[in-house]
Structure 1
Amino acid sequence: MRPLPPLSPSILALCFGLLAPVIQAGPQVPIRLNGQPLQPAWETLAQDRFAAELELTKGTLELGTGEAEHKPLKPFQRHALSAGDRFDFDVVKPGRYRLLVQTGDDANLRLLSSRQSQEPVEQACQPWNGEAVQVPVAGVFEDGQRLRDAYSGNTTIVKDGKVELTPAPGSNGLLLIEAAGGRPERARDWRNATVYFALTDRFANGDPNNDRSYGREPDGAQEIGTFHGGDLKGLTSKLDYLAKLGVDALWISAPYEQIHGWVGGGDKGDFRHYAYHGYYALDYTQLDANMGTEADLRELIKQAHARGIRVLFDVVLNHAGYSTLADMQQFGFGGLRDGMAQYLPERWTAWQPEPYEHLHAYHNLVDYDHPAWSRWWGKDWVRAGIADYPVPPSVLVDPLKGSLAFLPDFRTESETPVRLPEFLRHKQPTRAVERDGYRVRDYLNEWLTTWVREFGVDGFRADTVMHVEPTAWAQLRQQADQARRDWSEANPDDPLAGEPFWMVGEVFGHGPEISDYQSNGFDALINFAFQQEVAGAASDCLVRADKSYGHYASLLADNPGHNFMSYASSHDTSLFSAQHDLERQRGLASALLLSPGAVQIYYGDESARAFGPTGSDPYQGTRSDMNWSEHTKPEIAALIDHWQRIGQFRARHPAIGAGRHQQLSNQPYAFSRVQGNDKVVVVQAGALVNR
């Protein structure tokens, strides 16, 4: 085969060539304190994300060298970063701060106040000698009251405002103290939710017959971006496992129909990247065949509800999936460049690059100015920069109308009524119906809330929230609330009928603080600060989390209705187990599960799931297969048991997530959480090792 004609990199980028930003050695952001330059050591968090610790005295911190008007730098808030910007921050409280910088197409920065670990490390993490400890509990429990350590099951009596207990072997020096005896029913509180995020395709394979739907194939190599077989039946089969972890909400990757084919993966196009993760939607009204059937979804939700577990869908309002050779051929949209058909096999998706090419080279075959692109989503639906479609601006210029990673950006702000996209008008099967007067967001909201009305989905985790207009999110929430009421009325015997809908949003880099997003439909936002500020240090010993715990609990107590969801690992940041040893993975259980506010376990946090093959995309390795085969290993079984004990304790006590926090002693470290008549005391006698 002779070489294909070249296509310029700029055109590749315009036509969703998935070109990654240039990787820098570190962010080029000049930093000065009171006019003196600072040269911090940068930590690489991911391909284009960096962090630096700053020890600041009183004065003025300056970031950037722009000559334009200086912008105020607000702690914990995300600030877009472009050439010529300059930010000023008045340092009123001296101390340690953390600067997070993201480069590339979505460049931004965020300044955090590091509240944890003000004490020297050698004082913060004292080793435990294995002996009994005395703990002050006055003001929480009364003299003569019998208490129980939920970890070991041992009991004791309060005497002179104190109790004496010995932490169980393998507990990491923990005492989880609660009132002994009967446990009255307590109202569930989303501030105490334990959400388990399972990337469905990588979690459990319940039906191998659906593994190769739509002609999807394994690549026979590392299977970095292919479908691995996880499905809804697999999730259902593991609900008892999740219940033992104390999980009361299951967040699953978007199960609706994704693009059928692949795009070139990573910067180097070194693997076939399918939509196994659920973020490349094709038809919002159908389940993806790899996920299973509608009967499978109904059974998952029925069985989850029977165990008190809510089911959350991951939803995307910002963008559709890429075009692929498979979908172009099947649905008849787009077109090839003159003479290029001879380079395609009968099944276009089976195309192979030449040895001197990579997988991005398939764009050389495609004519992105062909008039038949109107048969795809259409110019009234998305910005894509092809044919006569609108060209999306840079997300730095306009985060609402810009294109993320060259994905086709839905025109959710448009007030113009639109017809169904042509490919959906002819696609079978689909439930997409032409609606008079519907705008883009009206269709999307109807499609997404139908899963609530018809199947009883309990909530949404909303993707890329900052890149969609707040009014669109508010409309989605309003319609979801009505859909939830309709479902409850039609299913009065379901254990969770009558419960309100819940929606948590991903605003990248957001911390636990209040923001306007929660006035536009969101019950909570993901707390990115926990991963950076708390998880690693507190996994050594909990005392390092106390300042953050106090701050989190105060935010909740002082702001009724406020919530956030903390995490330590995720699919698009990093995997805790890839950076820490098994002992810290045990410590993470207490650091995360005893944190105020909702928390999210990423599948395998509890079993030290390993980082997987990643190619030229550093995030793919965070999405490895769940390590079920390792669960019988003694060290992994013990780790899971440790997570289960703490998770069950959290599940019994809404005060852990929603109560007021008070430190009771420093050595041993002890704190109380109190919400009404629900009271607990947590003690860590000391770290097993002195780190």
Structure 2
Amino acid sequence: MFKLKTLSAMTFGAMLALPAQASALGDTPLYLNINQQAVSDALQLQPAGTTQFKVTTRLEKGTYQIQIADKNHTCGSTFGPEASKPLPFGAMNPLSSCAKGEHYQLKVLLAGDYDFTLDGRDPKAPTLKVLRATKKGVFKRQPPAVDCASWDGKPVTVSVAKTWPNGTLLRDAYSGQTAKVTGGKITMSPAPQSEGMLLLEEAKPAVQTAFSWDNATVYFMLTDRFKNGDTSNDNSFGRHKDGKDEIGTWHGGDFKGITEKLDYIKSLGVNAIWITPMVEQIHGYISGGADGSFPFYGYHGYWALDFTKIDPNYGDEAALKTMVDEAHKRGIRVLLDVVMNHAGYATLPDLQDLGLQDIAQNTQGLPARWADWKPKGKYEGWGSVSQFINYQSSAWNKWWGPDWVRAGLPGYTEPGVDDVTGSVGGLPDFKTESTKYVDLPYFLKHKADTNAKSLPNATVVDYLVKWHTDWVRQFGIDGFRADTVKHVEPKVWAKLKAAGTTALKEWKAANPGKKLDDLPFFMVGEVWDHGMAKDFWFDNGLDSLINFDYQRDALEFAQCMSHVDPTYTKYAGTINKDPHFNVLSYISSHDTKLFFGDYQDVALQKRAANSFMLLPGGVQIYYGDESGRGLMKDGGVFDQAVRSDMNWSELASGEKAELVAHWQKLGQFRKAHPAIAAGSHKKVSDKPYAFVRQKGKDKVLVVFAGRQG
């Protein structure tokens, strides 16, 4: 990447000179013009053998007019839209060569560095793309100001007369210091590292508390991006790296890596882990990015090929068994992500590996192993692999088949337009509503290593339920995280829950020495954008739902903990008064955003933990929330940025190690006191902000003295 110096917001640009050998847009030097001005001494880009030109420059918050032109703004060398219009991020926006006074309008909400790419591969249809640069450390955003009390670093006094009698010895779980209640008050000074907080409990020996899903702290990780414990399984089915940004390739994380880090996970006070789907994924890739800029594999687990096999990139059955057993030894439950809505795409290597070569075409242009194909030349991208797949072939009936899925293929039912019959992301949509008895799909009948067997009088749902719950019966999986819940009929989830409950009972009966307790099978569902509401999903197998509400307010609460009190009151009063209602709240996820990614502010990340880890109900830590894991490049696919590798190398010392220690203290405090997640909530003081949580005999007082500085 060529980097420009930072210039005035109104007087900067970058020169893009097209070499003669490219000639896609002519030989005249061209400039990126912003607000009708270009920089005369801008960098000249002449990448050999390509007609794609990228330049990075800084933009402040505001709206800008964007054009590409020669110095004289000549017709034929002035590129912009046919008529002035907004310039969307990430898209390949068409350019007219005689734009004259027409401009793209770019609205920048976040000050920082931005990549502009001019693509002249098609001389008749050049395009311009703009993306926010993700190079670490280029700039640092500042969160909007929030009014909040400040703490001067001195001891604080809080009235506790209605909570504990005089003479009670209290301990700050954060610093370990103690003090007695005197005159109905307690006086103590928060630890400097606590961001102005006291975690007060009675100073007596800790009592082991029974686990409840009401008090769940769930650690969620994309298995492939967490920890590589076994490098020998990194390239199953001929999967390759792309040698560039590795946005959508497999990174090597596996069960063995998770097992190696279970003690670390336990140190965070975590009592359950959630792993992404582990079943065998499509072998190849699809095109990633608007212009096919990267190969996009099923590393995340949501593009299944065979639900009865573990994807070897994650490990084998022995590695899974070890991981589950070792988690259970540490009192950690295991939630498995499951997909009932869709299967994965059909990729070129799948056709070869499954013996479906009849669907391929132009195979004379392929290497002996189709998984080894790569784009060649300047006119091919990763999406060019589709030239070898015949989407009009009648042989598609040998794939999942029209009785199993909806897909835009010959002989298949077209996807619908509603939530249940529509196609999520263009993926083959299982006919979960069908009452028709089906046999195994052709490819599974002929797949040599599958564990799938024909079932008598079975529907599509019957097969899917059996395939998923067999993992519970075999390994003692404690619960499911159900993907894309609203895209499947409610009764299907009820059926899956009943089967999972039976399967876990059977495993516990067969493994009495390994079971943790007799709690029933648990299911939490992802109903996209669902918030703090109890509805019909809880009558159809779901014990909890992922809460999309909290993340929207997490920044304000991180900036000032006292602002969270109405939310604490609402959550405790709603969740903890109903034994059949719970939610799983989060600040980061693999589908939305990474809290740390917005501001890369360690102190803010500590304060986010303060309000979040004391939330009533269940909470979900996304791997790296506790360690300040940063973003990766996304190639124009926004959610890929939040799926970076766990930042293990940063945790040995320094501010990231201190950040982890902070989350550990809060996590252990939460784990030791069921009252935090499942108790009543009562504010006892405004200045300083303080509240009491109580469940039975368990009682804690939390004090926020204010922001430091």
Give TM-score, length-normalised by structure 1. 0.81
Equivalent positions of 1:503-542 (< 5 A) are 503-533=523-553, 535-542=554-561
Paired letter, 1:234: G
Shift of 1:495: 4.3
Alpha-carbon distance in structure 2 between the residues aligned to 1:558 and 1:635: 39
Match for 1:430 among 409, 429, 450? 450
* Structure 1, 446-455 or 550-559: larger mean CA deviation: 550-559
**Higher mean Cα deviation, 624-633 or 359-368?**
359-368
Specify the code of the residue in structure 1 equivalent to 2:567: S
Q: Give the Cα–Cα distance (whole angstroms) in 2 for the partners of residues 140 and 188 of structure 1.
A: 25
Instruction: Give 1:574's aligned residue.
Output: 593
Report the counterpart of residue 75 of structure 1 in structure 2: none
Structure 1: state its 5+ residue gaps: 1-21, 27-40, 45-119
Question: Structure 1 pair 213/404, CA: closer, same or farther in 2 (3 Å)?
Answer: same
Q: Does 1:173 align with 2:193?
A: no
Q: Which amino acid aligns with 2:363?
A: A
Deviation string, structure 1 residues 8-50 (Cα, Å, up to 9, x no partner): xxxxxxxxxxxxxx99689xxxxxxxxxxxxxx9989xxxxxx
Q: For residues 472 and 109 of structure 2, what CA distance do their matches in structure 1 show?
A: 42
> Distance between the aligned counterparts of 1:230 and 1:427, measured in 2?
26
**Counterpart position of 2:368:** 346
> 1:129, 1:327 → 2: CA distance?
63
After superposition, the C-alpha distances for 1:509-549 in whole angstroms (9 at most, x for unaligned) are: 1112212111111110000110002x101111211111111
In the alignment, the residues of structure 2 paired with residue 510 and residue 268 of structure 1 have an alpha-carbon distance, to the nearest angstrom, of 33
Tell me how far apart the structure 1 counterparts of residues 502 and 166 of structure 2 sit (CA, whole Å): 50
Tell me by how many angstroms 1:365 deviates: 2.8
RMSD over equivalenced CA pairs, Å: 1.8
Alignment of 1:15-164 (within 5 A): 121-122=146-147, 125-164=148-187
Q: C-alpha deviations, 1:344-400, integer Å up to 9, x for none? A: 222222223342232222223321121211111111000011010111023xxx110
Matched, 1:323 2:346: yes
Letter in 2 for 1:419: D
Matches for 1:230-379 after TM superposition, within 5 Å: 230-333=253-356, 335-336=358-359, 340-353=362-375, 354-379=377-402
**Counterpart among 489, 504, 519 of residue 484 in structure 1:** 504
**Secondary structure in 1 aligned to 2:444?**
helix
Verify: 1:594 aligned to 2:614, yes or no: yes
Letter in 1 for 2:574: L
2:563 paired with 1:544: yes
Structure 2 counterpart of 1:620: 640
Measure, in 2, the Cα distance between the counterparts of 1:171 and 1:158: 22
Per-residue CA distance 1:643-690 (angstroms, 9 max, x = gap): 00010000001110111111111111111111111101111111124x
Call closer, same or farther: CA 1:674–1:42 in 2, change over 3 Å.
Answer: farther
Task: Tell me by how many angstroms 1:419 deviates.
Answer: 0.5
SS of the counterpart of 2:205? coil
Contact 2:359 2:395 in 1 (8 A): no
- Partner in structure 2 of residue 402 of structure 1: 422
* Structure number with larger C-alpha Rg: 2
Deviations 1:386-421 (A, max 9, x none): 010111023xxx110100110000001100000001
1:168 maps to amino acid:
A
Name the SS for the 1:558 alignment partner. coil
Moved more, 550-559 or 515-524: 550-559
| Per-residue deviation, residues 43-71 of structure 1 (Å, max 9, x unmatched) | 89xxxxxxxxxxxxxxxxxxxxxxxxxxx
SS in 2 for 1:483: helix
Aligned residues: 572
Residues 333 and 374 of structure 1 are in contact (CA less than 8 Å); yes or no, is this contact kept in structure 2?
Answer: no
> Which of 423-432 and 227-236 deviates more?
423-432
The answer on whether the counterparts of 1:202 and 1:626 sit within 8 Å (CA) in structure 2 is yes
Q: Is the 8 A contact 1:334 1:374 kept in 2?
A: no
Q: Which amino acid aligns with 1:344?
A: L
Structure 2 residue matching 1:605: 3-state secondary structure: coil
Q: How far apart in 1 are the matches of 2:373 and 2:241?
A: 14
Match of 1:227, SS?
coil
In structure 1, how many angstroms separate the alpha carbons of the residues matched to 2:428 and 2:611? 39
TM superposition shift of 1:214 = 1.0
Aligned-partner SS, 2:243: coil
Partner residue in 1 for 2:61: none
Contact 1:334 1:376 in 2 (8 A): no
Q: In structure 2, what is the equivalent of residue 48 of structure 1?
A: none
Q: 1:335 to 1:360 in 2, by over 3 A?
A: farther
Change (3 A) 1:605 1:184: same
Work out whether 1:605 is the aligned partner of 2:625. Answer: yes
Partner of 2:605: 585
Deviation of 1:479 (Å): 0.2
2:686 to 666, 669, 674: 666
Which of residues 460, 480, 483 is equivalent to 2:480? 460
Q: Does 1:557 align with 2:576?
A: yes
Long gaps (5+) in structure 2: 1-85, 91-106, 111-144
Shift of 1:337: 6.7
What is the rounded CA distance, in whole Å, between the counterparts of 1:555 and 1:334 in structure 2?
Answer: 56
C-alpha distance 336-23 of structure 1, shift in aligned 2 (>3 A) = farther
Decide whether the 8 Å contact of 2:238 with 2:372 is kept in 1: no
Higher mean alpha-carbon deviation, 497-506 vs 297-306, is at 497-506
- SS across alignment from 2:220: strand
1:186 and 1:337 map into 2 onto residues whose CA distance is 59
Deviations 1:448-487 (A, max 9, x none): 0011111000111111000000010000000000001001
- In 2, Cα distance between the equivalents of 1:577 and 1:650? 22
